């Protein structure tokens, strides 16, 4: 490695933690990538909306205290578990001093709502003499303060600090798919510029929640019925995404830091490009093309975070055919479902694992938000 200034430092991936319907860990997800189909789809529990469920995890392996497990919601348990896998993969799980100096960047949404309370309030609201007064009274009295606290997005970072001892500064990004892109962009740029040497970055998402299904169905974003590959959904008239419970974390380091401690490196993470233009016909293709050029992407494989939502998925498919002709494109949604904030970190972690296995020299990960926001993440072999 020869760099002329701290602002040009190489950033490498030294740890990977993955959890999804494919299972846990790197090997399970490389197997799913080879199969190019989801390992689990639940079409019954939330019919007519299929979901890709979380795998059965032995939580004690990464969250040893039962009290910690109990106080977390599902999305937090998934994230803390994946973060532990990443630290283990990086060989620093037991290095207290190393973890204490490590910074953390998390992309996630909020926690679950109490759907029983929500349903009771909505039912009572129909016949209330004064709907406004009724709503105020029951929102104040029926919702538990502890439930609100459990919904706070930055609790994932807090629980990672408590369970794993990652106690450097932390940042939490919210904003659906774009937040995952920006979490990676922030982490990569801070290490490259010399502000920090090591960062843990990622996120988690629980799809098995009636409240999120209702929200996305109200927007017309959900696929219905049996599983269909992402890029085939628009052709079948059932365009939309299938949500997937998933978590992904990467440990990023300055290359010289990784070399100094003798760490295994999976891949190099190049500067991350992101954009948020106003959505209109053609805007997705134009945005991806601009980001692709800025990133200097010349991949021999593409991992697409395409949602399956009709117009934008068609635009992304057309753009990729033009930007990377003949390059194989794998839809992440076909392997693990759509996991919103986790999409970009998950794609980057999987891409790094593929490069480490020698299956590609360079991989581009694309993210097109179902409402807004595009990103291109580029990973490459070290030499």
From residue 221, alpha-carbon distances to 56, 105, 218, 312 in Å are 27, 28, 8, 12
Q: Which residue has the tokens 């891409």?
A: 351
* DSSP at 36: T
In tens, the pLDDT along 37-83 reads 777 999 999 999 999 999 999 999 999 999 999 989 899 999 999 99
Q: Does residue 38 sit in helix, strand or coil?
A: coil
How far is it, in rounded angstroms, from Cα 85 to Cα 62? 7
Is the separation of the CB atoms in 53 and 15 below 8 Å? no
- pLDDT at position 149: 54
> For each successive 10 residues of the chain (383 residues), what is the average pLDDT?
57 98 96 86 95 96 95 93 98 96 93 76 89 88 63 87 95 94 97 96 95 90 93 78 97 97 97 94 96 97 96 95 97 96 98 97 97 96 89
Around Cβ 66, how many Cβ atoms within 10 Å? 10
How far is it, in rounded angstroms, from Cα 332 to Cα 319? 17
Which CATH topology does 6-112+151-380 take?
Peroxisomal Thiolase; Chain A, domain 1 (3.40.47)
Angle between helices 115-127 and 210-218 (to 10 degrees): 60
Following DSSP, what letter does each residue of 262-283 receive, concatenated?
T----EEEPPPEEE-PPP-TTH
Give me the long-range contacts of 313-319 (CB less than 8 A, separation at least 24).
313/230, 313/231, 313/233, 313/234, 313/239, 313/368, 314/234, 315/282, 315/284, 315/285, 315/368, 316/284, 316/285, 316/288, 316/366, 316/368, 317/231, 318/285, 319/284, 319/285, 319/288, 319/289
The length of the chain is: 383
Q: Does residue 250 sit in helix, strand or coil?
A: strand
Nearest of 248, 111, 86, 103 to residue 161 by alpha carbon: 103
How far is it, in rounded angstroms, from Cα 95 to Cα 57? 24
- pLDDT at position 230: 94
Task: Give kind and range of the element (H or E) at residue 23.
Answer: strand 23-24
Task: Give kind and range of the element (H or E) at residue 254.
Answer: strand 246-254
């Amino acid at each position: 490695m020869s760099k002329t200034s701290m602002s040009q430092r190489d950033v490498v991936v030294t740890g990977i933690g993955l959890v999804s319907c494919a299972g846990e860990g790197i090997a399970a997800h490389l197997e799913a990538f080879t199969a190019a189909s989801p390992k689990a789809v639940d079409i019954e529990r939330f019919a007519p909306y299929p979901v890709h469920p979380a795998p059965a995890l032995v939580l004690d392996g990464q969250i040893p205290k039962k009290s910690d497990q109990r106080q977390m919601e599902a999305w937090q348990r998934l994230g803390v578990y994946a973060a532990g896998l990443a630290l283990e993969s990086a060989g620093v799980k037991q290095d207290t001093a190393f973890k204490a100096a490590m910074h953390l960047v998390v992309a996630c949404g909020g926690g679950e709502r109490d759907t029983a309370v929500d349903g009771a309030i909505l039912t009572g609201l129909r016949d209330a003499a004064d709907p406004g007064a009724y709503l105020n009274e029951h929102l104040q009295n029926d919702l538990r303060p502890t439930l609100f606290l459990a919904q706070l997005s930055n609790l994932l970072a807090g629980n990672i600090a408590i369970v794993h001892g990652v106690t450097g500064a932390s940042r939490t990004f919210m904003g659906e798919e774009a937040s995952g892109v920006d979490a990676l962009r922030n982490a990569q740029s801070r290490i490259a510029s010399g502000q920090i040497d090591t960062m843990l970055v990622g996120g988690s998402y629980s799809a098995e929640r009636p409240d999120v299904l209702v929200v996305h169905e109200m927007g017309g974003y959900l696929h219905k019925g049996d599983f269909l590959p992402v890029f085939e959904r628009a052709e079948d008239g059932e365009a939309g995404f299938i949500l997937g419970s998933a978590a992904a974390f990467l440990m990023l380091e300055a290359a010289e830091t990784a070399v100094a401690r003798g760490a295994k490196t999976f891949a190099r993470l190049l500067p991350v490009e992101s954009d948020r233009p106003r959505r209109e016909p053609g805007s997705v293709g134009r945005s991806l093309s601009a980001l692709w050029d800025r990133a200097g992407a010349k991949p021999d494989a593409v991992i697409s975070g395409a949602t399956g939502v009709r117009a934008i998925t068609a635009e992304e498919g057309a753009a990729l055919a033009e930007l990377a002709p003949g390059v194989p494109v794998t839809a992440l949604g076909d392997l693990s479902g759509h996991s919103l904030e986790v999409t970009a970190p998950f794609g980057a972690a999987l891409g790094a694992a593929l490069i480490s296995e020698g299956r590609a020299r360079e991989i581009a990960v694309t993210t097109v938000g179902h409402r807004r926001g595009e990103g291109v993440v580029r990973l490459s072999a070290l030499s």
